[in-house]
Structure formats: C-alpha cells, structure tokens
Homo-oligomer: A and B are copies of this chain.
Amino acid sequence: MKKRLSISDIALNLGVSVTTVSFILNDKAREKRISEQLTKRVLDYVKQVGYKPNQLAKSLRTGKSKTIGLLVEDISNSFFANIADHIEKLAYEYGYHIVYCSMNNDVNRAKELIQLFYDRQIDGFIITPTEGLTEIIQRLLKNNVPVVLFDRNLDDLETNFVISENKEGALLGVKYLAEEKKAERIGFITINSEQLQMRGRLEGYNEAVAAIGLEPLIKRIDASKSDEDTVAAIKDFIVTNKLDGILFATNYLALSGLKAIKTFGLPIHKLVSFDENTVFSLVEPPVSAIAQNMGEIAQQVVDILISEINGTNKDLVKVVVPCALIRR
C-alpha cells in the first residue's frame, strides 16, 4: 500500500507548520485568525492530494473514537435488525460509527465484548440488557461511560433508557381481541423471563383480562427451549385451555405459535403479537400486531447517547414510546 500522507507531509510540502494545517483542518482557521489565502491554499492542496487524517492518531490524542457500541440481543430478529439499521443511520449523521454485536443469549460473550469495546475507547454504548449484564453495566456507569438501554431497562440500574409502552400495548391487544374480535378465552404466551418489557406486557394482559372479566390464561415458555418443544408447548396450551384468542409477547413466539396452529390444524384465528413482522399479513390466520415505533425509539436512543457523550445531559432520561395496533 502506498504510504499515506501525514499531516507533516502536508506541512512540509506547503512550507507551513503542522499546527497551521491542523487548525485549518479542524475548522479553527477563523478562531486562530489564519489568513484566508493560506487557509484556501492548504484546503486546496489537501483536497488535491486526497489527504485524510489518521483517525486512530486523532482518537488517541483526543480520547474520543467517534464510535458507538451497539449490543443487541439477536440481530437476526427483525425487530433488532430494523432498529439497528435506524440507529446506524442516525449515528452516522452525527458523525459516529457503530460497532455492533449480537449477543445471542451468551452473557459471558456479551460481558467480554463490552469490556473489549471499552478497551477500545468506545465513546458510548447502546444495549438491550439481559439479566446477567447488570454488574458490568454498573461498572460502565461508575466510570462515567455514556450508556443508553433500549427495549427494556434493568431493575436495579439507574440509567438512561428508551422502551415502549409495553403495558398499554398489551392492554390494547387484549381489548382488541375481546371487544372487536369477540374472543372469550384469550391466552397470553410469553417467555420465562423477568425482563422488564416482558413484565410490562404481562401486567397489561393481567389488567386487561381482569377488567373485562375473563380468566387469565398464561403460558411461559422457557427461552432455552428448542423450536420444536416451543411449538409443542404452545399447541398443548391452546388445546388444553380451548383458547380462541392469543396475545404473543414477542414476534418469534408468534412464529412458533403459527407453526403450531398450522402443523396441528388448530381452530384458532384471533391472534395478536408484539412487534410487527412482514409475515403477519401473509399467513393464515393473519396476525394483528402491537407495533413498536422503531424510528422513534432509534431516534431517542441516539439523541440521548449523543448528548450524554457531549456532556449536555444532566439528568437521566427515561423515555417511553407508545405502540400502535395494526388490525388484521
């Protein structure tokens, strides 16, 4: 690779000092009252030879890497993939890069990665936290590393977060099933997790069935279960309880549910799931969705993190974004 030019090459070739070049390149020409002509001469030359500052050196010197670590639970889940996409775009507009990683339920790997990112002088973190991560996130916070959580927060962690109105979303879903779809035995299928977003959805379900006067029918699926086992469990749940409506706590549970319904030809077609998914309009029965506002969530997450990085955030910011019901 042909040797890249450095700032001193530029300075040398132009017969000026490094400082001058540096100032001009960092938009401090005015401030430092460098002459217009010189400024232009430097800028033109820089452009002409295609000089680009070495970001590593810059970062080393300034202590800022202009990089954000994004840790999502599972990038192949459409919800996270979409959010990641949004976040990446927004961060880019602020001049930041995203280093992402998909944790896939591997707490140790996640911890390692946070540590690694931290060691690489990342400017801030965006994380969908899981239970095992409390301690390490705590450590980040103690070291004043900017952190924003999303999708859920952690109980014993005082930090910024952006989540959806999970409880209200679940209420919406149950009401829709009961009032518009006239379902009478509405089950709730969730994962066996204490994650706050799941707790919120459960609460919403419980409150809604209580208000309507229906029997609460809840199935918690172990997250570690294989897909087949999940499908079987859902089938049993539906059959045993003679369900005529279901609220799924996440899109992948809904997918397993659909598989169960299809495989065993179950006579149930009043379905609602959290998180929109292209599939939902294509399958029979179609699945209504409690869609999270991904654009808004991403926007908030990035805004909060950037102002945290810039030190313009004084207090913790906790944002709750409403969901929208998509009727099918």
Contacts and interface: CB of A to CB of B under 8 A. Distances in A.
A220 to B, nearest CB: 22
Contacts of A1: 143-145
A198 B182 CA distance: 48
Contacts of A278: 255, 279
A81 interface: yes
Interface stretch (A92-100, A125-133, A317-325): A92-100
A60 interface: yes
B102 A99 contact: no
A81 B76 contact: yes
A239 interface: no
Interface in A20-69: 52-57, 59-60, 65, 67
A276 interface: no
B60 A56 contact: yes
Interface stretch (A187-195, A206-214, A280-288, A301-309): A280-288
Interface string A254-277: 010011001000000000000000
A143 B50 CA distance: 14
A121 B88 contact: no
A159 interface: no
A52 B114 CA distance: 13
Given A60-B60, A65-B56, A145-B1, A283 B283 contact: yes
Contacts of A104: 85
Interface in A85-131: 85, 88, 92, 97-102, 104, 109, 115-116, 119-121
A10 to B, nearest CB: 15
Given A88-B102, A99-B99, A121-B56, A279 B281 contact: no
Contact of A54 (B55, B121, B259): B121
A75 interface: yes
Interface of A: 1-2, 52-57, 59-60, 65, 67, 75-76, 78, 81-82, 84-85, 88, 92, 97-102, 104, 109, 115-116, 119-121, 143-145, 255, 258-259, 262, 278-279, 281-284
Given A259-B281, A262-B284, A284-B284, 14 more contacts: A52-B119, A53-B119, A54-B121, A56-B65, A56-B120, A75-B84, A76-B81, A85-B102, A97-B116, A98-B100, A98-B101, A100-B100, A279-B279, A282-B283
